[in-house]
Chains A and B, each alone.
Chain A
Amino acid sequence: MAYLCNVDIGGTHTDAVVIDQRGSVTEAKVSSTPDDFSRGFFNALEQGAAKRDLALDELLERTEVVSHGTTVGTNAIIEGEGVDAALVTTRGAEDVMFVMRGGAAVSKGQSIEDVLSFRDASKPDPIVERKRVYGVDERVDCMGDVVVDLNEERVRNVARELARNEVDAVAVNLLWSFLNDSHEVRIEEILEEELPDGTFLTRASDLIPKWGEYERTTATAINAYIGPSTSEYIDRINDGLGERGYDGTLLVMQSGGGVMSAEDAVREPVKTIDSGPAAGIIGCRYLSERLEHENIIAADMGGTSFDIGLLTDGEPITQPNNVINQYEYMIRNVDVDSIGSGGGSIAQVDADTGRLQVGPESAGADPGPACYGRGGTDPTVTDADLLLGFLDPDHFLGGRQHLDESKARDAMSAIGDELGMSPEEVASGVFEIVTAKMADSIRQRTINRGHDPRKFVLYAYGGAGPLHVPAIAPQLDVDTVVVPSGDTSSVWSALGVSSSDFLYRQEVSNITTAPFDPAAVTDSFRAIEDELTERLRAEGFEPDEIDVERYADLRYQAQVHQVSVPVPNGRLDESDMDTVVNRFERKYEDLYGEGAGYTESGFEMVTIRCDVSGRTTKPNLERESSEGEAIPKTETDVLWPSEGRRLATEVYEGTELGPGMTVDGPAIVRMNHTTVAIPPEDECEIDQYDNYVIDIGGE
């Protein structure tokens, strides 16, 4: 028996998932060990091994792939626990990470309610302290020409001061270095000479040679900030795996939508930030291939937030920049938007106007919904779900969390009194409102990008997703909702990592004007893809396991917006250049509306990108068909908001259902990590992967 293992390190818990070649999944969960994350890593694997009656070494010897998703880097930034890092930059550009982009930095990543309020307006804490930012005299211009030669004496003085101050990591980013990296390379050489071995060094022209100094400096600085601690624990895990019998490469999940080797993760840890949501989307891609769905809206509803990602033509939509802690940095990532609607969203009545509102404030996990009995007194979406009858107080989360219905009722009544509504009416209203808000958010993110939601399938996961998303579907005219792989939707992220390909991605800016020289463009692509392919070969991938994808970001001349389009492989000719331009114009119109483009402006190619991927071993999720029919455990009255009344609703136990069975709505399926709601008139079929496929009828 061969295995795939994935370990997810979170702030509180470390989860392990062991998948065997028959598709059977074993989960393990331990506490994270922040003083040395590798301990929790192996503890989790050990627990997973034990559940299969194996010693850890036995498991690892038979494991084909060990993969890893981490929030260590993300948490380090959010909690301000990175190292004492320094930044070396062009003199005059020292304030780039303090000015940021002005006002946009204050509002970045915030809900609209917070954007409109200045009471708590602020910029985030620095990633690199101002006194650790060193400007050196040098200058390159927009054509890559050197305007001021590198002042090496200055560099050497800086290097000596860095050594004196014992900095742990140094980021180097000069203006226009992506066009001419000679100064950055020379600075790196001098730093290597003057600084102790083991100082973490990262330079922008290597990490992300793209146009735009703020987002590029931030990416480089973040890499330095989390570099030493991330690399330390990953190295330890890597060594530990080898010692315990694993002879493969440790694969680490990237926000970009693929995995990388531990060695790469150690060098470029900035790519691990927000890898979790990306993994979920890649899991959706893997599933969509099997289910032959082309266009998916992936909806993850948890306790505090509702995360939305899109896949079109079977591929996840990526965005060039990401945001963390109000900092925007340019590492391409799977685009997942987060809005403040979750199970913990608080329902309240506005003091001045008497209006019922739901969110964006959240009760979080602590104290959590009133019904959790942890001291929360605000009514939340979860309390509403309970009062409506969707949740069983004794069987929530597989019985691990008891729900106190009286507390939910009290909390909801307090609001009900102010509105002249019964607690059930309020609960129904809360459900409807949060549904409408999520539908609006999805609409904004599909229609506004030129996509018609009616052509999409909704994939629903997260603690509250499978309950709420089937109710959102009719509002978008979406007729299919898929709850992936039944009960493992809580370790969906882990499955996602296990189903990710190995990805090397490099983006390089060099702004040229149409007509583009096909030979020069070919050479530029080849320079990147040859190197990346070489690295994949070194990882052990055969040529037929390697895929190369080319993209170019174009813009209309002197316009701001860039659009990314695929570029043909191989040696390019003039007709290929025409193809690229046509694709750009068409996609621009799709995104921004007919007549939005203005050909007369002329075109510029700004950045080229190569995604070189190596196909990894994927888990087999196919199950055997179950015998028999779905038999409900019990029946309960549920107030379905869409119907406005209580209906007798059958309740099933997820562990008693399997592939091939069908369940007709109205019905509820209880699982260890979530609850699936199948609305009246809808039908649910469990497919051979244990997915719950809900056909949205009615409307």
Chain B
Amino acid sequence: MDGASETTRREALKLAAAVAAFGTALGFHAIGAEAQGPSTGATQQKVIKGERTTLKFLKIERLEIKLFYQGKFSYAFSVPSSVHKHFRPGQQLELKFFRNGEFVTDPLK
């Protein structure tokens, strides 16, 4: 890799970090992708176990995680395209839950 492309990649990493940080700070993390708007509110610190599921598909344009309560839609979490575009057959989608910056293995404690 030459010097110019190394610089570009380093700047791209900085930009990706900035996108993640600003997106989270502004509430875009909760409702997800850049195509949607932010969500703001004092969220309860509830956690559940991480689950590991293998998904197989050739190409996706959009990936959403939706929560329903008693059959009624409550929340939608869109996975940013910068993440889901890397999905390939056989890759895994892992949901992890954190509290105070630490991975939680037992949600009921």
A, B from the same assembly:
no
What is the interface of chain A, defined by CB distance below 8 A to chain B? none
